[in-house]
């Protein structure tokens, strides 16, 4: 049997690299994207992964990808960025850029590859989200909004595509140790009245990140979603996910909000 082909965006590091590695180990043919594959250090390149360029900032780069990779069976929309700051202090241009990277780019890639999956009556699209989409946190509003948006696209569109054998699903990691804390874009205006609480949340985020799960744990969950006959809408792992989702079902929303705030050292 010809191995199925998977495309993993942002495959040069973190979760994307772990998912690509897990797919290769299970016999998939894997294509991984990077903004500039030539700059991936040799010791970071995964054997069995064909690296191709993709810049989610660039519409032309997105539109060109299908011709570079051909038919694929599995699309893992992983590439993206993180951002935080008080809503009042976030530059609108930065919010727009984040939506391009985390929402519009992945959604357009999904649109481009769905026709082929539908025609072959098989496909899996995995959106790598964040548990913050299910449990919003102060000073992460723009990032939370992007992750909630891709989950909403996935949740709604799966009803459209599943009759054709194509399933969309979202994987939500909690705190994860990928080094993203060092790459997180932060915004705080001079003299901001939110400064003290914002710095408190940043410190808590860094603490949780450094103690978080490893990318390989998320990769295992993504493989479960990909290989399920009928993937669930949502898979979550890390940050005591089973407990938090149980509380979300059973407890009043205000109680859950207070627990999330206190977990990040905000007294509410």
On average, the pLDDT of the chain sits at 94
Residue 158 backbone dihedrals phi, psi, to 5 degrees:
-60, -30
In a domain, 95, yes or no: yes
Domain span including residue 202: 5-263
CATH number at residue 107: 3.40.50.720
Beta-strand ranges (E) seen in 116-254 are 123-128, 166-173, 185-186, 234-237
Give the total number of structural domains in the chain: 1
**Where does the pLDDT of residue 2 fall: very low under 50, low under 70, confident under 90, or very high at 90 and above?**
low
Which tens digits make up the pLDDT trace of 63-110? 999 999 999 999 999 999 999 999 999 999 999 999 999 999 999 999
In a domain, 10, yes or no: yes
143 is catalytic: yes
Which tens digits make up the pLDDT trace of 211-242? 889 999 999 999 999 999 999 999 999 888 99
**Buried-state track 226-256, b at ≥16 Cβ within 10 A, e below 16:** beeeebeebbbbbbebeebbebeeeeeeeeb
* Mean of pLDDT values over 162-172: 98
Q: Cβ contacts of residue 98 below 8 Å, gap of 6+?
A: 81, 83, 142, 143, 146, 185
Which tens digits make up the pLDDT trace of 200-213? 999 999 998 888 89
Selecting among 139, 143, 194, 235, the annotated active-site residue is 143
Question: What predicted TM-score, i.e. pTM, was given to this entire model?
Answer: 0.95
In a domain, 268, yes or no: no
In a domain, 14, yes or no: yes
Residue 1 is predicted with a pLDDT of 55
């Amino acid at each position: 049997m010809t191995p199925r082909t998977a495309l993993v965006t942002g495959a040069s590091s973190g979760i994307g690299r772990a998912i690509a590695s897990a797919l290769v180990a299970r016999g998939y043919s894997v294509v991984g994207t990077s903004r500039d594959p030539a700059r991936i250090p040799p010791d970071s390149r995964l054997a069995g992964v064909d690296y191709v360029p993709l810049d989610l900032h660039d519409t032309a780069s997105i539109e060109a990808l299908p011709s570079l990779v051909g038919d694929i069976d599995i699309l893992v929309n992983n590439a993206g960025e993180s951002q935080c700051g008080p809503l009042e202090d976030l530059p609108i241009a930065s919010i727009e850029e984040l939506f391009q990277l985390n929402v519009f780019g992945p959604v357009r890639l999904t649109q481009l590859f769905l026709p082929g999956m539908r025609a072959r009556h098989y496909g899996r699209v995995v959106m790598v989200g964040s548990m913050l989409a299910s449990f919003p946190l102060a000073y992460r509003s723009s990032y939370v909004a992007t992750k909630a948006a891709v989950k909403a696209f996935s949740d709604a569109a799966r009803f459209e595509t599943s009759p054709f054998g194509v399933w969309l699903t979202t994987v939500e990691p909690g705190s994860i140790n990928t080094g993203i804390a060092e790459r997180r874009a932060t915004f705080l205006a001079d003299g901001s009245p939110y400064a003290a609480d914002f710095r408190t949340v940043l410190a808590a985020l860094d603490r949780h990140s450094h103690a978080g799960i490893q990318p390989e744990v998320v990769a295992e969950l993504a493989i479960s979603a990909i290989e399920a006959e009928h993937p669930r809408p949502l898979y979550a792992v890390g940050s005591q996910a089973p407990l938090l989702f149980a509380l979300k079902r059973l407890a009043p929303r205000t109680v859950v909000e207070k627990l999330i705030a206190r977990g990040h050292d905000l007294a509410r």
